[in-house]
C-alpha cells in the first residue's frame, strides 16, 4: 500500500482517537491495584526480549536484546519469566536456524535456559501470558484456575485481526497492543484487552533502579527522516542524540534515562508507537506528530506539532520554563499511568469477575 494512502488512513484513525480522548477526563491515580501472580512464557527462538530469567526484575529487563517488552509485569507484579523449549507442543528445532553467529550465540544461551512447559503448575498463577501460541491448548485444559492471555509482538500477524472478531479457543484474552480509545474500541469485546506490548507506568524507571538525569536535551525517534536528524545536529547550545538501530538494549535505556525531550515529528512511514511509550516510561516529554503513530495517545495537545521548527520552538520555550515543563510531564504521566497500566488491569479484573469458573485472581481479592 502506498505511503500516502497509509498516512491518510492514519489521519482518519487518529481523528477518532482524538475525539475519544476529548470526551475522557483523566485524573491522577495512585496505582492501588493489587499485585498479581503472573507467568510470562515465550519460546527460546524469539530473541528480541529477555534472554534469561533472573530473580531480580532489573536483570531480566536488562537482558533484553532489543525491546522493552511489558516491563510493568516485572516491576509491579510477582512475575515469573519462562523460556519454553517448545512452541505449540512442538519442540523447537535449533538446527533450522541459518543465521549469523551472534544470534546463534544468543539462541544457545536461551536454549540452555529453556524448560519443558509440562513441568509447570500453571494453577499457581493468577494470569499466564503466552507469547503468540507458545502454550498449547492441551495444557490449558488441565489448568482452569488461572486466566490465559495471548500477546502478539507484531500486530501484522494474521491472527491479530481474526481474534478481534473471534475469541481464540481456551484463551481468555488477547492483549491487543493498543492504548485504547481507537476505532477497535467501537466493538471491543471483554476478551480484547487494551494492553500495550510496552506495558508499564511512570514508576518503571525508578523500580529498575535507574536514575533520571536529564543531561540530554533532545533524543530523536529512530525512524525520523534524515532531514530531521540533520537539523537537530545543526542546533547550537543543545545536547542531543539521534537514535539509530546500532545501540544495544542497555545503551538505549541509558540514553532515554538521561534525556528531557523525545522528538518524533516526521517519520519515514506510519509507526505503531511503542517507541513513544518507551520514551514516556523513561520520563521523556513527547513532542511529535500524532498523525504518524497508530498509538499516538500519549502526545498531549500542547505538544502536537507537524514541523521541525514548531517542535524546536516548543523545546526552547520549555527549557526556559521548568514549571510548565513539569506540569506537562505530569499531564503526560497521568495518561501513561491510566492507559498503559491501570486501564488494562481493570479490564482483566472485570473479565475475571464475570467468568463462570473458579479463578485464583478472584479468590485472592
CATH code of the domain in which 246 resides: 3.40.50.2000
149 and 246 housed in the same domain: no
302 and 351 housed in the same domain: no
Q: What is the DSSP string of 303-350?
A: GB-SSHHHHHHHHHHHHH-HHHHHHHHHHHHHHHHIIIIIHHHHHHHH
Residue 31 inside a domain? The answer is: no
128 and 177 housed in the same domain: yes
Residue 220 inside a domain? The answer is: yes
Q: Tell me, what's the pLDDT at 211?
A: 81
- Taking the chain (365 residues) in runs of 10, the rounded mean pLDDT of each run is 90 96 81 84 85 76 85 92 92 75 75 90 96 92 95 82 88 95 93 95 87 92 96 95 90 94 96 96 97 97 97 97 97 96 95 92 69
CATH code of the domain in which 171 resides: 3.40.50
Q: Rounded to two decimals, what is the model's pTM?
A: 0.93
d(Cα 239, Cα 331) in Å, to the nearest integer? Answer: 25
C-alpha grid cell, residue 34: 493489587
Quick check: 63 and 54 in contact, CB under 8 A? yes
Domain count, the chain: 2
192 and 67 housed in the same domain: yes
185 and 254 housed in the same domain: no
172 and 270 housed in the same domain: no
69 and 149 housed in the same domain: yes
Nearest CA-CA partner of 130 in 78, 177, 83, 95: 83
234 and 106 housed in the same domain: no
Buried b (16+ CB within 10 A) or exposed e, 39-62: bbbbbbbbbebbbebeeebeebbb
Residue 255 inside a domain? The answer is: yes
- The neighbour count for residue 342, using CB atoms within 10 Å, is 17
177 and 274 housed in the same domain: no
Rounded to the nearest 10°, the torsion over CA 295, 301, 307, 312 is -110
d(Cα 264, Cα 251) in Å, to the nearest integer? Answer: 20
Residue 11 inside a domain? The answer is: no
Q: Tell me, what's the pLDDT at 45?
A: 86
Residue 18 inside a domain? The answer is: no
Residue 319 inside a domain? The answer is: yes
314 and 328 housed in the same domain: yes
327 and 349 housed in the same domain: no
Domain of residue 169 covers: 36-200+342-363
Quick check: 173 and 150 in contact, CB under 8 A? yes
241 and 318 housed in the same domain: yes
Q: Tell me, what's the pLDDT at 365?
A: 45
Residue 6 inside a domain? The answer is: no
- The neighbour count for residue 323, using CB atoms within 10 Å, is 8
Rounded to the nearest 10°, the torsion over CA 304, 307, 312, 313 is -80
Amino acid at each position: 500500500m502506498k505511503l500516502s494512502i497509509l498516512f491518510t488512513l492514519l489521519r482518519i484513525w487518529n481523528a477518532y482517537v482524538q475525539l475519544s480522548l476529548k470526551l475522557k477526563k483523566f485524573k491522577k491515580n495512585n496505582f492501588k491495584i493489587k499485585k498479581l501472580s503472573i507467568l510470562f512464557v515465550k519460546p527460546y527462538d524469539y530473541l528480541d526480549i529477555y534472554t534469561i530469567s533472573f530473580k531480580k526484575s532489573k536483570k531480566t529487563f536488562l537482558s533484553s536484546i532489543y525491546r522493552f517488552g511489558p516491563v510493568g509485569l516485572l516491576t509491579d507484579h510477582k512475575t515469573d519469566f519462562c523460556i519454553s523449549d517448545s512452541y505449540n507442543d512442538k519442540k523447537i528445532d535449533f538446527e533450522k536456524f541459518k543465521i549469523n553467529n551472534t544470534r546463534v550465540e544468543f539462541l544457545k544461551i536461551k536454549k540452555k535456559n529453556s524448560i519443558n512447559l509440562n513441568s509447570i503448575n500453571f494453577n499457581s498463577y493468577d494470569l499466564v501470558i503466552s507469547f503468540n501460541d507458545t502454550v498449547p491448548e492441551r495444557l490449558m485444559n488441565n489448568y482452569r484456575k488461572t486466566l490465559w492471555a495471548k500477546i502478539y509482538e507484531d500486530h501484522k500477524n494474521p491472527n491479530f485481526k481474526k481474534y478481534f472478531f473471534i475469541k481464540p479457543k481456551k484463551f481468555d484474552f488477547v492483549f491487543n497492543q493498543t492504548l485504547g480509545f481507537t476505532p477497535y474500541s467501537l466493538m471491543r469485546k471483554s476478551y480484547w484487552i487494551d494492553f500495550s506490548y510496552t506495558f508499564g507506568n511512570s514508576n518503571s524507571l525508578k523500580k529498575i533502579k535507574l536514575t533520571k538525569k536529564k543531561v540530554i536535551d533532545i533524543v530523536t525517534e529512530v525512524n525520523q527522516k534524515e532531514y530531521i536528524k540533520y537539523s537537530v545536529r545543526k542546533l547550537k547550545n543543545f545536547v542531543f542524540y539521534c537514535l539509530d538501530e546500532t545501540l544495544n538494549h542497555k545503551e538505549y535505556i541509558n540514553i532515554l534515562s538521561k534525556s528531557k525531550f523525545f522528538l518524533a515529528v516526521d517519520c519515514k512511514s506510519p509507526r505503531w508507537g511503542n517507541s513513544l511509550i518507551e520514551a514516556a516510561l523513561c520520563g521523556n516529554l513527547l513532542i511529535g506528530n500524532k498523525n504518524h503513530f497508530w498509538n499516538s495517545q500519549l502526545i498531549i495537545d500542547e505538544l502536537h506539532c507537524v514541523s521541525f521548527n514548531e517542535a524546536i520552538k516548543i523545546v526552547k520555550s520549555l527549557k526556559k520554563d521548568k514549571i510548565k515543563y513539569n506540569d506537562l510531564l505530569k499531564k503526560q504521566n497521568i495518561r501513561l499511568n491510566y492507559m498503559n497500566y491501570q486501564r488494562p488491569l481493570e479490564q482483566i479484573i472485570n473479565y475475571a469477575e464475570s467468568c463462570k469458573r473458579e479463578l485464583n485472581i478472584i479468590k485472592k481479592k
